[in-house]
Each structure stands twice: as structure tokens, then as C-alpha cells.
Amino acid sequence: MRRLTSMLAAGIFAASAFTGVAVAQDNPKVGGAAMFADKNIVENAVNSADHTTLVAAVKAAGLVETLSGPGPFTVFAPVNAAFDALPAGTVDTLLMPENKDQLTKVLTCHVVGAEAMSAAIAKMIADDGGTHTVDTVGGCKLQAKMDGDKITLTDETGGVATVTIADVKQSNGVIHVIDKVLLPAS
């Protein structure tokens, strides 16, 4: 009987360990950190070494509470290198308190008020003949297209960002990592 109990306990432990591994594998790592589907966008983003500039900008714009809310949201999350590629001084200027409105406009041009996984976006692109207009919460209109198997987004200034990591599930939506900062027309 003791052996049976030990075997059952070992089996339950192994099953629970396996389940934990499966949950961790559901989402890709971002910036070297595990992303957890039961955490919200902000809780996961703060752990990504590739998104420290984005997190600082979200804090400076006062958007932490919003992006921690119930959503659902789709966030196209630029990596640090995308912010570094902006003209010298742009990020520092945007982070100044007197430029909070402009920073908020830029950041909300990366957010859609719905959860859109990459397969759904690709279907919308195909259904719309190769280009799908994406309306953001900031009022920007992005043009989503396919480049091979990658989704690209063209902003209102003609800049093109590529989704480099898709479908990072969050408790309040999804993050798609992008390689360029999306800018509004004005």
C-alpha cells in the first residue's frame, strides 16, 4: 500500500510539474523573460529587458493603470532598439512632463482596443485584399500587411514595423513585439 501511495504521489507531482512546464511554454520569452498568460500587459512588460524604454514611457505617460486594466488590448510593443533608432534626443524630449500629451499620442498609436492574435490579423489582411486598416485607441490608422509569414505595420508617416514575436498572451489581451516605433501623422 505504501508503494502504491508513493507511486501515486510521484505521478501527481510529475503531472503537476509537467503542467507547469506546458504553461510556461505557451508564451514565447520576451527580452529574456518568461511571459505569463495570467499576468497583465504591464506586469509582463516590466520583466522584459528589451522593453525598458517602453515601460519608462508608459509610466511617464500615466498609462500603467489603463494597460493594467481589464482590456482587452492588443499592444504592438517596440523594443529598446526601435526607440534608439529615433532621431537623437527624441525619447528624452518625449519623456519630459511638458510633452506628456505627445508621448501619450505616440504610445496609444501602438494599442488596439481588442485582442487580435496574429492568425486573426493575417485573415483580416487576406480578406481585405492584402492590406487591412488597423484603428488604434490613439486615433492612428495603421496599415497591416504580410511580408512572407510576418505581419508588418505601416504608420501614418510611412514607417514600417515588423512583428518579430507574435501572440504573447496576457490576462488582458496580447502583445506583439515590433522592431520600430509607430508614429502618428502629427
* Domain residue spans of the chain: 2-178
Query: Given this model, what pLDDT does residue 26 score?
Result: 75
Residue 103 Cα to chain centre, angstroms:
17
Question: Maximum distance among all alpha carbons in the chain?
Answer: 74
Distance CA 97, CA 99 (A): 5
Query: Given this model, what pLDDT does residue 5 score?
Result: 33
The superfamily in CATH containing domain 2-178 is: FAS1 domain (2.30.180.10)
Distance CA 27, CA 169 (A): 6
Query: Given this model, what pLDDT does residue 13 score?
Result: 33
Kindly give the confidence (pLDDT) of every residue in the chain, 186 residues in length, as a single tens digit, with 9 standing for 90 and above: 443 333 333 333 333 333 333 344 478 888 888 898 899 899 889 888 899 999 999 999 999 999 989 989 999 999 999 999 999 999 999 999 999 999 999 999 999 999 999 999 999 999 999 999 999 999 999 999 999 999 999 999 999 999 999 999 999 999 999 999 999 997
With CA atoms as reference, report the closest residue to 162 among 181, 185, 139: 181
Query: Given this model, what pLDDT does residue 18 score?
Result: 34
